[in-house]
Amino acid sequence: MFDASKWHMKALLLLMMGLFMSVSVYAMDASDAPDSITIDAIAQYYEPVEFDHAMHTELAEDCSVCHHHSTGNGTSDIYCSRCHSDYKELDRVSCQDCHSVDSFSAEAINRQGQQDLFHADMLGLKGAYHQNCLGCHQEMDGPVGCEDCHAKTDAGEKLFDSGKYAPEPSEGGGSHH
């Protein structure tokens, strides 16, 4: 079991070693990734997510379904391959290297107006995860319920007035219309 942030350090180290050993770049394969990853970068209202990377690499057609072309395996998305057809491994593979934790930071908002960027419309990390994970789960009958991947924390139950914070049948001043 890996912590994504710790793994990141290792990946960097590996990458540096790789660069040291040879100038040619190889595409990553499943063995370059941990079998299981605890995704916990933004956990607050929900518990961290236990992500079975090994199972998912087998399920998915190829790495680019999740990592775009960043693992150096090209991309199976014909729209993207128009401009990203090269098989070059990027130094950023982890989702949060490009999809920022703070989806609407001043920097992220500024990006939207930048004329010189092709990808001005960038998802934050939370949006990237859910669009990617939920999107495929909807298509391939994976889990889609909000608590299938992560149970609510106490803060989450408070936010939703659910669990032990659920309104009594008679309670609840708010109308629901």
| Residues 109-138 contacting ligand HEC, CB under 6 A | 117-119, 122-123, 126, 128-134, 136-137
User: Which one among 16, 26, 97, 104 touches ligand HEC, defined by CB under 6 A?
Assistant: 97
Rounded CA-CA distance 17/173 in Å is 62
Q: Which does 174 bind (CB under 5 to 8 A by kind): ligand HEC, other proteins, none?
A: other proteins
Scan residues 150-169 and list those touching ligand HEC (CB under 6 A). 150
- Asked whether the beta carbons of 70 and 95 are under 8 A apart, the reply is no
Beta pairing class for 36-39 and 49-52: antiparallel
User: Is 59 a binder of ligand HEC (CB under 6 A)?
Assistant: yes
Q: Which is nearer to other proteins, 8 or 152 (CB)?
A: 152
Q: What's the CA angle centered on 116, arms 110 and 63, to 5 degrees? A: 85
Contact between 54 and ligand HEC per CB under 6 A? no
Torsion (CA) 27, 30, 33, 36 in degrees, nearest 10: 160
**Residue 172 interface partner, choices other proteins, ligand HEC, none, CB cut-off 5-8 Å depending on type:** other proteins
**Residue 140's binding partner, choosing from ligand HEC, other proteins, none, with beta-carbon cut-off 5 to 8 A by kind?**
ligand HEC
CA distances from 64 to 12, 29, 133, 175 (A): 20, 11, 13, 46
Question: Does position 67 bind ligand HEC by CB under 6 A?
Answer: yes
Q: What's 49's DSSP letter?
A: E
CB nearer to ligand HEC: pick between 11 and 74? 11
Cα–Cα distance list, 171 to 51, 58, 159 (Å): 39, 49, 17
Applying CB under 6 A, the span of 18-26, 102-110, 144-152, 161-169 interacting with ligand HEC comes to 144-152
| Binding partner of residue 103 among other proteins, ligand HEC, none, CB cut-off 5 to 8 Å per kind | other proteins
Q: Are strands 36-39 and 2-3 parallel, antiparallel or unpaired?
A: parallel
